[in-house]
């Protein structure tokens, strides 16, 4: 229970209300008016205060939250806030019955009440309700912050948005504007013959954009699936194949990438597709849409925004908008003619010669590199609305080739204030062309381009049944609302943005590690089903003794100790059971000796050894999973799934790269080793060639960037360096 004195004081008042026979949390309340309606009535005329106090009609009933209380002798004034605004209430001696007087004494700021009374105007001309009946609707156990409008802590506003929207009417209006804007967009689609469809959030294949997806596990199917990175693009075009000629969707999308003021990992998009349109038809349509929605919501096409420097700037959405050639603009802004290069290596050299720096450029394929060059040199300069057209073919895997210039696409983006608001193009309807694009993307993905698309045979199958000409569009709702409401951070227009848990808390039930009077780990259940808690069946001391008994090769023993350390580090990162995960790392190679055991035999005796020692089937299966796909044995055709299996596989594998990297250093130690050294050796496939890079990349399946894996592993191994000879 909260021991804060103010909380306890409110709790006492709650109990006193109950003693009075008052239900502090009734099931419903019937109001006659909202505050705004009552204020309008007050402007039309009210009786004098003296008449009201003599015979209060009680003809107005309101409900809402109390914001402040002011006492003036026999008069008490409060402001009542509801969904439509605020109105002043007056509580006056003699107007309430005795029970309501006692209830009034127990009120506090933030309480939700119902009141009846008659309107009058104060001597200052403020329309006010003289209350003659009071109903408690919800007793607040915490008060509202004072002067919330003066609080500048953005994180607090994001975490407790309800407080911001209670105390700051402008913040509430911003979200109401967002919802009204979305409604008007829907209205425009309906008026133009579109229908709204729904597409899957979980997908077998991540596609529809160049982005890194979130991955999760589907327990019923026992497969890994992806959260969609786009608003159903391939599904929409499949629907068009099925005869739905104009479709749109407003949907949540998810991209497992970095967060900054103009990017969120969970965001809202609108996509549409129209059969028999080309990309120019689509541009015309978008111009008409924007003029409509702006005039309907704000009454003008002129909007004040904060430019990239933070200064107010007027943006005019009046059409037509300029149409800019993508490659020509990049050449103008950087001096680089991207059409002169057909591979990432040569283009990167040209970029570096110009002194332009792009993070992780060496890991990108050609199309992704071009896109990042554009974002670096051109996009920030585009303040007024403009269509940027005809992107290189390699940057748009799903866009139609231009008939006159096959090096570019029939594509366009709407840029405003340096932000991409719309991404659109004429769609590929040739299944052979689409297959070639998918194959090129798959090759880029295999070469390390995390944002490249995967092959999608089901979509190709639909295309092969005949797809009509069409053009489609994707628009970021969060960005558009941020732009129109002068917000610099997308979180300011998302009602409940995802935030990192406070104080290191994870959304996992914590259970004591050991049973009372026993050294064995207590059996636990996982809140996620991904092994955050694992019943091992034996204690750590028993596991260590078992490892020493069966692992005779000193190199394998050192590797096992390193794997234990890394698994403990990963467990700490994910909020899992560190000792249980450590034991999994320690025992994972219980039957392995490269000098006496053939690769295809690895794991064959693990279950027998571990089961005899009391290790649970759950833990044994996790240990076996690190061999899946390896060695040509019985585990060759099995696939890992779930957090702990992928963690063990990449966790024990990274030790090989770090150990080998340390031994080639002058001091043959990990003491001075840094992540950049591991990253360099990771890219050099000839170094420690036996370390499977694809297994290491499984870290990405559990939400870890490669650099995060390297850092966690390095930090875990350094403390045991002397023990393992490093």
pLDDT of residue 524: 33
Report the share of the chain in percent with pLDDT over 70: 92
User: Residue 469: pLDDT above 90?
Assistant: yes
pLDDT of residue 316: 95
Report the share of the chain in percent with pLDDT over 90: 55
pLDDT of residue 670: 83
Higher-pLDDT residue of 271 and 680 is 271
| Residues 427 and 272 sit within 8 Å (Cβ to Cβ) | no
394-407 mean pLDDT? 86
CA 141 to each of CA 7, 111, 134, 157, 162: distance values in angstroms, whole numbers, following the listed order: 6, 8, 19, 20, 15
Identify the structural domains of the chain with CATH numbers, from first to last.
5-144 (2.40.50.140), 172-322+384-493 (3.30.930.10), 540-720 (1.10.3210)
pLDDT of residue 150: 43
377-397 mean pLDDT? 90
User: Residue 118: pLDDT above 90?
Assistant: yes
Give the pLDDT band (50/70/90) at residue 199. Answer: very high
User: Residue 27: pLDDT above 80?
Assistant: yes
Q: Which ranges of 216-278 would DSSP assign to H, the alpha helix?
A: 233-241
The per-residue pLDDT for range 592-643, each reduced to its tens digit, is 888 888 777 787 788 889 988 999 988 998 998 888 877 556 676 677 888 8
Query: What stretch of H or E contains 412?
Result: strand 411-416
What six digits make up the tokens of 8?
A: 């306890």
pLDDT of residue 131: 97
338-348 mean pLDDT? 92
pLDDT of residue 4: 77
Average model confidence (pLDDT) for the chain?
87
381-408 mean pLDDT? 89
The per-residue pLDDT for range 84-111, each reduced to its tens digit, is 999 999 999 899 999 999 999 999 999 9
pLDDT of residue 78: 95
State the CB neighbour count (10 A cutoff) for residue 475. 24
670-675 mean pLDDT? 84
pLDDT of residue 510: 40
Is 646 strand, coil or helix?
helix
Give the pLDDT band (50/70/90) at residue 276. Answer: very high
pLDDT of residue 476: 93
Q: Which residues are 453's β-sheet partners? A: none
> Residue 538 contacts by C-beta under 8 Å, 6 or more apart in sequence?
520, 521, 546, 583, 613, 614, 615
Give the pLDDT band (50/70/90) at residue 148. Answer: very low
pLDDT of residue 518: 38
Is 668 strand, coil or helix?
coil
Q: In this structure, what DSSP letter does residue 406 have? A: T
pLDDT of residue 334: 95
User: Residue 152: pLDDT above 70?
Assistant: no
403-425 mean pLDDT? 92
The per-residue pLDDT for range 482-538, each reduced to its tens digit, is 999 988 889 999 999 988 776 544 444 443 333 333 333 333 323 233 567 788 999
The per-residue pLDDT for range 177-197, each reduced to its tens digit, is 999 999 999 999 999 999 999
What six digits make up the tokens of 331?
A: 């050449």
Q: Where are the beta strands (DSSP E) in 122-262?
A: 127-138, 195-196, 202-203, 215-218, 223-227, 246-254
Give the pLDDT band (50/70/90) at residue 174. Answer: very high
User: DSSP assignment of 564-592, as one string?
Assistant: HHHHHHHHHHHT--HHHHHHHHHHTTTT-
């Amino acid at each position: 229970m909260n021991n804060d004195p103010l909380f306890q004081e409110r709790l006492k008042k709650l109990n006193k209300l109950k003693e009075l026979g008052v239900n502090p949390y009734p099931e419903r309340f019937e109001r006659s008016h909202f505050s705004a309606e009552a204020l309008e009535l007050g402007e039309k005329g009210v009786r004098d205060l003296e008449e009201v106090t003599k015979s209060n009609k009680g003809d107005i009933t309101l409900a809402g939250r109390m914001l402040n209380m002011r006492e003036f002798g026999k008069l008490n004034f409060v402001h009542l806030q509801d969904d439509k605004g605020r109105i002043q209430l007056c509580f006056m001696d003699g107007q309430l019955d005795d029970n309501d007087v006692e209830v009034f004494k127990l009120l506090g700021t933030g309480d939700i009440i119902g009141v009846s009374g008659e309107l009058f105007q104060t001597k200052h001309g403020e329309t006010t309700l003289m209350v003659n009946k009071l109903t408690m609707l919800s007793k607040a156990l915490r008060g509202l912050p004072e002067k919330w409008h003066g609080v500048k802590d953005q994180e607090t506003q994001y975490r407790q948005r309800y407080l911001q929207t209670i105390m700051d009417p402008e913040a509430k209006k911003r979200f109401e504007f967002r919802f009204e804007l979305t409604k008007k967009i829907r209205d425009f689609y309906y008026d133009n013959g579109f229908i709204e469809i729904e597409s899957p959030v979980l997908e077998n294949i991540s596609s529809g954009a160049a982005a890194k997806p979130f991955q999760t596990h589907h327990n019923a199917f026992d497969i890994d699936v992806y959260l969609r990175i786009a608003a159903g693009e391939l599904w929409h075009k499949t629907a068009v194949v099925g005869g739905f000629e104009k479709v749109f969707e407003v949907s949540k999308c998810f991209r497992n990438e970095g967060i900054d003021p103009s990017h969120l990992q969970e965001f809202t998009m609108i996509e549409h597709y129209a059969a028999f349109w080309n990309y120019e038809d689509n541009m015309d349509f978008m111009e008409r849409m924007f003029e409509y929605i702006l005039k309907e919501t704000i009454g003008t096409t002129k909007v004040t925004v904060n430019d990239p420097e933070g200064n107010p700037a007027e943006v005019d959405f009046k059409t037509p908008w300029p149409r800019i050639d993508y490659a020509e603009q990049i050449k103008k802004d950087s001096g680089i003619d991207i059409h002169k290069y057909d591979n990432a290596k040569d283009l990167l050299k040209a970029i570096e010669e110009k002194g332009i720096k792009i993070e992780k450029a060496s890991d990108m394929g050609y199309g992704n590199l071009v896109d990042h060059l554009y974002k670096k040199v051109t996009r920030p300069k585009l303040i007024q609305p403009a269509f940027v057209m005809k992107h290189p073919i390699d940057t748009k895997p799903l866009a139609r080739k231009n008939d006159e210039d096959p090096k570019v696409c029939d594509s366009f983006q709407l840029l405003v204030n340096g932000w991409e608001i719309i991404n659109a193009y004429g769609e590929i309807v040739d299944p052979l062309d689409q297959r070639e694009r998918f194959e090129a993307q798959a090759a880029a993905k295999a070469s390390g381009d995390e944002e490249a698309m995967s092959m999608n045979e089901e979509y190709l199958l639909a295309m092969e049944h005949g797809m009509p000409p069409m053009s489609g569009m994707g628009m970021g709702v969060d960005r558009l609302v941020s732009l129109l409401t002068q917000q610099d951070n997308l979180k300011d227009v998302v009602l409940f943005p995802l935030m990192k848990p406070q104080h290191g808390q994870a959304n996992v039930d914590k259970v004591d590690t050991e049973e009372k009077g026993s050294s064995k780990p207590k059996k636990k259940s996982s809140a996620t089903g991904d092994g955050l808690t694992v019943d091992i069946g034996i204690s750590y001391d028993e596991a260590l003794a078992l490892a020493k008994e069966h692992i005779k090769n000193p190199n394998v023993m050192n590797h096992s100790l390193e794997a234990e350390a890394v698994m403990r580090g990963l467990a700490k990162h994910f909020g899992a059971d560190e000792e249980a995960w450590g034991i999994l790392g320690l025992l994972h190679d219980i039957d392995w000796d490269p000098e006496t055991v053939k690769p295809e035999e690895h794991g064959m005796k693990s279950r027998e050894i571990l089961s005899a020692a009391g290790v649970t089937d759950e833990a044994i299966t996790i240990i076996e999973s690190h061999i899946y796909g390896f060695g040509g044995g019985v585990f060759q055709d099995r696939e890992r799934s779930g957090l702990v299996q992928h963690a063990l596989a990449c966790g024990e594998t990274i030790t090989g790269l770090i150990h080998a990297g340390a031994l080639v250093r002058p001091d043959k130690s990990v003491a001075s080793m840094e992540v950049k050294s591991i990253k360099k050796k990771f890219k050099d496939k000839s170094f420690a060639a036996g370390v499977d890079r694809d297994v290491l990349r499984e870290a990405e399946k559990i939400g870890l960037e490669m650099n995060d894996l390297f850092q966690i592993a390095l930090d875990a191994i350094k403390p045991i360096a002397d023990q393992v000879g490093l």
